[in-house]
Amino acid sequence: MACDSAGVTPFLLEGKDPSRVALRMLDGDQTYGDLQAVSATVARYLTVAGFQKGDRLLLAGDNSLFWVSAYLGALRAGLVCVPVPTTIAADDLVYILRTTQVRIGFVQARFATANRECLQTVQVVADRELPSFSNALSFAKLKANDINPDDDRANIEPDDLAALMFTSGSTGKPRGVMVSHGNIIANTRSIVQYLDLTENDRIMTVLPFHYCFGTSLLHTHLRVGASLVVDLRFLYPEKVLERMQQTECTGFAGVPSHFQILLRKSCLREKQFPYLRYVQQAGGHLAPRFIQELREALPCTKIFVMYGQTEATARLSYVPPEALDKKMGSIGKAIPGVKLRVLNDSGEEVGPGQTGEIVAEGENVARGYWSEPEESAKYFRNGKLYTGDLGTVDDDGFIFVLDRAKDFLKCGGKRVSCRQLEEKLLEFDELLEAAVIGVKDELLGEAVKAFVVPRNSHSDGLEGRVLMFCKENLAHQLVPKAIVVMGSLPKSSAGKVLKQKLKALGS
């Protein structure tokens, strides 16, 4: 008999019709009954194997039944899930394993093979047989050997840790955000409310589940009994669009690079999506030019522009779709249950047009950083999350992000936002993507260096045309000192631009 619990897994799965489809995979559908059964099996295995509430479990794999089962099973058993991308660098993996003292990992076989040395001290459960591993068990064998103890679920309290979501830290080492069961439940309820999600929704899922935005799609849609259409083929966007039509998707979610590709590298405008009710955009700033193009391409679809941080579980604010045209460039107002303010150095709210730091309060604010008390004290203070983002407000209380506090340049004594420069560059119609960094300059102190990705393959002479556009549209000191044309910008597995890699190229 299971204990009463405030845990994420029962919050998501209990009370659902077991015959309803939860995951629509390319290789077949998985029902809520399937998820309930296999997550319970994972929890029973972990309990009988001697793992206890609070132990950390590494999770590495593509979006799949294997990933979802391990995640929900681990949380059901009270373990703390440590999701990582399958492309994680070996040094970062070693650091995470050592820091979190992981004892067990549910990982894809190819990940285990590629990281054999790192995983020598970890009990491995893989998605298929690994004959050469002495410390590995296949997922199929785990399910075949299922037993049924009296209690397969830990008694979870809201403050108990559910996950360590690792992000890039200020020191260059990954930083683990401590997300509790209560954080996830609070943020999930809020997102469900403002998106008005129901069991009739079907979300096209191209975001990886190991990324907090992707995980939030899993949480919100399972909570209401909806379906997630999982497709890993975004390198071929036309296939994803075709599947959206075939499965009658009501929703799509992506980071800026997803929408830039759909708008400039696909036939989105020529296709019809009669069932597409809403689109979610978060995970970075999408330039107004692209938002306008998205509105034109999907005139009957609600566009939700949202803002959040891993430190806030996922989401902090959104722009109501009906306000998007009047508040273009804004991150909107706080989601239900969250208080979001822009504060000056004295801790007072700024007035319209003034600049301050965006500060959040709410049950979704994480508990801090794992084993980093100094960093936690810097960003998590008195129950508030200091985001590190600089912003301002307008007369209606809508918030506008100016940039990350660390992503400003000082050119000729003038402080300049990289985001604003990137927005201006993307007004040049030949570009798909643009990113700006600062480089040393004897005259200006710091000069602009721009990395651009052409919209199509006809890029001969592009540097000159971009330079001319900049001279015509930017102040003299902001015209790039150098323009580098790239095939693509370096990105994380979640599709976010990695400025550190550009800075390594730009030094």
Give the pairing of strands 104-107 and 56-60: parallel
At 2 the pLDDT is 40
- d(CA 362, CA 359) in angstroms, rounded, equals 11
Contact 281, 306 (CB under 8 A): yes
3-state helix, strand, coil in the chain (%, to 5): 30, 30, 40
Fold of 408-506: GMP Synthetase; Chain A, domain 3 (3.30.300)
- Name residue 306's amino acid: M
At 1 the pLDDT is 32
**How many residues are given for the chain?**
507
Instruction: From residue 378, give the alpha-carbon distance in Å to each of 96, 343, 373, 384.
Output: 21, 15, 9, 11
- d(CA 80, CA 181) in angstroms, rounded, equals 10
Contact 387, 360 (CB under 8 A): yes
Three-class secondary structure assignment of 142-189:
HHHCCCCCCCCCCCCCCCCEEEEEEEECCCCCEEEEEEEHHHHHHHHH
Domain positions in the chain are 8-156, 179-404, 408-506
- Angle value at C-alpha 206, between 201 and 208, nearest 5 degrees: 110
Q: Taking the chain (507 residues) in consecutive chunks of 10 residues, what is each chunk's mean pLDDT?
A: 69 97 97 96 94 97 97 97 95 96 97 94 95 90 79 84 86 88 98 98 97 97 98 95 98 95 94 97 91 96 97 97 95 98 94 94 97 94 93 95 76 78 90 89 83 85 91 89 91 82 74
- d(CA 323, CA 328) in angstroms, rounded, equals 8
Same-fold call for 8-156 versus 179-404: yes
Q: What is the CATH number of domain 179-404?
A: 3.40.50.12780
- d(CA 45, CA 348) in angstroms, rounded, equals 52
- Which architecture characterizes domain 8-156 according to CATH? 3-Layer(aba) Sandwich (3.40)
- d(CA 121, CA 142) in angstroms, rounded, equals 19
Torsion-angle region of residue 337: left (phi > 0), alpha (psi -120 to 50) or beta?
A: left
